[in-house]
Chains A and B, each alone.
Chain A
Amino acid sequence: MDAAELLLITGLTLRVSLTAVALSSALGIPAGILIATGQRRRKALTLAVNTAMGTPPVLLGLVLYLLLSRRGPLGFLGLLFTPEGMILSQFLLTLPITTGLTISAIESLPRETRELIESLATRPAFKMLLLANEAKLQLLAASLTALARAVSEVGSVIIVGGNIRYYTRVLTTAIVYHTNAGEFEAALWLGAVLALVYLSLNAVVLAVRTAVMRE
C-alpha cells in the first residue's frame, strides 16, 4: 500500500462517516426534540430508540445486503458494494444514537427552562430551535458520539461495501484485510491513522465548543 492509497482510504472514511452523521444529525436531532417534548407515546418511542441504539452492526449489514442486492426489494438502486450504500448503513446505524442522545439531552434540561420556552414559543419550529439552543453542547456531543461510532465501525460496512480495493475500502475494513493477510505492520499503521483522524475530528469539535461557550 502506498501513500496515495492510504489517502484514498482515509478520504473515503471521512466522506462516508461525515456524510452519514450529517444526515443522521439533521434528522435525528429534530426527531429527538419532537419525541422529548411530545405528549403521546413518549415512553414507548424512547424505549424503541434506545433499543435501536444497540443494533448489532453486522445484523444491520446483513439486512441491508439483502435489501440492496439486485434481487432484493431495493436492488434497482444499485447501491450494494458502493460508497453510497455504506453511507446508508452508517446513517441508519447512527440515527438512533443522535435521536436517543437528543432525547436525553432535552429531558435533562432544567424544568424552568423548558416551561419558559413552552410559554414563550408559539410556533413549534421556534420552540424546537430554542430547545436545541439550550442543549447545544449536549447535541454536539451526540453528533460526536455518532461520528465515533461511524468512523470505528466495521461490521456493516464490510458487508454492504464489500471491502473493494480503491473503491469501498475504509480504514477499519483495511485493518481487517491486512490483519487477515498477516500484514500486521500495515494494519497497525492504519490503526494509527484511524486514531489520528478521530483525534483531529475531536479537536475540531473542541474548538467549536470553546467558541460556542465563549459566546
Chain B
Amino acid sequence: MARVKILLLLSALLAALLLTAFVLLHPAPSKGKTLRVATTTSLDATGLLNVLKSEFEKRNPGVNVTWVAVGTGQALEIAKRGDADLVLTHDRPLENEFIRQGYGVHGVSFACNEFVVVGPPEDPAGISQARDVVEAFRRIAEAGDRGLAVFVSRGDRSGTHMRELRIWNETGVNPRGKPWYRETGQGMSQTLMVADQLRAYTLVDSGTFAKFKERVGLRVLFRGDPRLLNVYRAILVNPERFPWVNHQLAFEFVRFLVSPEGQRIIAEYEVGGVKLFQACFGKLSELGVHDPYEEEQVAYWLSQLRK
C-alpha cells in the first residue's frame, strides 16, 4: 500500500517537473525578433500603435512588436533602466533631458495633434471665452475657489500631466492641495472617466478624447493655443549604454515610422471618421517648434531613408 502511495507521489512530482520543463522551454519569442517599446498610453489607447505594429510585422515576417503602455515619465524611467529598446513619448523637456543624459539617441518627432481642455457642457468657469489656455486655467482656478468648478489632473508625470503643470506654472496659481484640484494618478482614459463623474475639467490629448468622447459627457471647451501642441517622438535607447537592447529592430521600426509609408498610415488613421494624428516628420518648424537637435536628426533619418 505504502509503495503505491510513494509511486503516486513520485509520479505527481514527475508531472510537476515536466510541467516546469515545458514552461521553461516554452518557445519564447526569440530575442533578436522582439521589439520592446515603452510607449505613452495615448498611442496604445487610440489603437494607432496596433495598426503600425501589424503593418511593420507584415513587412518584416517573424518580427514581434510588443509594448508596455505607461505615462511618458514612466516610459522614460523604464528605458533608463535598460528595460526597453525604444520609447515613444510626448514631453519635449523630459525627452531632452533623457537624450542629454545619454540614455537615448536619434530622437525624432513622427506624429502630432493637440491638447484640448474638456469639461462639462455648461462650462461653469466660462473657459470657452478665454483668450489663451493660461487664462482658461486661471478661470478654472477662480471658479474652483468659489466652489463652482473642479479640475482633475493625471498626477502621474505623464506627458499630459507635465504639460498641465507648466500651464499652471504660467498662471501663477499653485493648484496642489486645493479642494477643487483632484489628482487621479492614473491613465488618460481613467482620468477622463473620473472627470466625467465629477463634472470636472481636465486636459487631454485630442486623440484619446476623440476615441472616448462617445462614452463621456464632456465637451471640448478650449483649444487652439500654440502652447497646446502635442508632439510624439520616437527615441532609440542608447546601445552603447545598454548593450543588450535590440537596437537594430528599434532602428528599423523608427525608419518605418518616418518613411513616407509610415507617415501616410499615421496621417490616415481614423476612428469613427475622425483623423486623430497629423504626420509631422520634418515638419516641426512649420508648427512653430525650432529645435536644432530635431533638424539634425531629421537630416540623419532622411539620409537613412535614402539607403
Contacts and interface: CB of A to CB of B under 8 A. Distances in A.
Same complex: yes
A22 B242 CA distance: 35
A91 to B, nearest CB: 10
Interface residues of A, number: 32
B20 A180 contact: no
Contacts, number: 73
B81 A23 contact: no
Interface stretch (A39-47, A99-107, A144-152, A157-165): A157-165
Nearest to A18: B19
Contacts of B128: none
B6 A22 contact: no
Given A19-B23, A25-B16, A70-B244, A182 B215 contact: yes
Contacts of A163: 68-69
Most chain B CB neighbours (cut-off 10 Å) among A25, A81, A130: A81
B305 interface: no
A189 interface: no
A111 interface: no
B189 A180 contact: yes
Measured as residues with beta carbon below 8 angstroms from the partner, the interface class of chain B is 35 or more
Contact of A71 (B16, B69, B82): B82
A180 B187 contact: yes
A138 interface: no
Contact of B189 (A15, A26, A165, A182): A182
A69 B81 contact: yes
A181 B45 contact: yes
Contacts of B82: 69-71, 75
A132 interface: yes
A69 B68 contact: no
Contacts of A166: 66
A180 B23 contact: no
A15 B216 CA distance: 37
Interface in B12-47: 13, 16, 19-20, 23-24, 26, 28-29, 31, 36, 45
A71 B84 CA distance: 12
Contact of B83 (A69, A133, A167, A182): A69
B66 A84 contact: no
B16 A26 contact: yes
B19 A19 contact: yes
B81 A22 contact: no
Nearest to A21: B16
A71 B81 contact: yes
Interface of A: 15, 18-19, 22-23, 25-26, 69-72, 75, 78, 80-84, 87, 129-130, 132-133, 162-167, 180-182
Given A164-B67, A181-B189, 4 more contacts: A23-B16, A81-B68, A84-B24, A182-B216
Interface of B: 2, 5-6, 9, 13, 16, 19-20, 23-24, 26, 28-29, 31, 36, 45, 50, 64, 66-69, 81-83, 186-187, 189-190, 192-193, 212, 215-216, 242, 244
Q: Which 3 A-B pairs have the closest CB atoms?
A: A70-B82, A162-B68, A71-B81
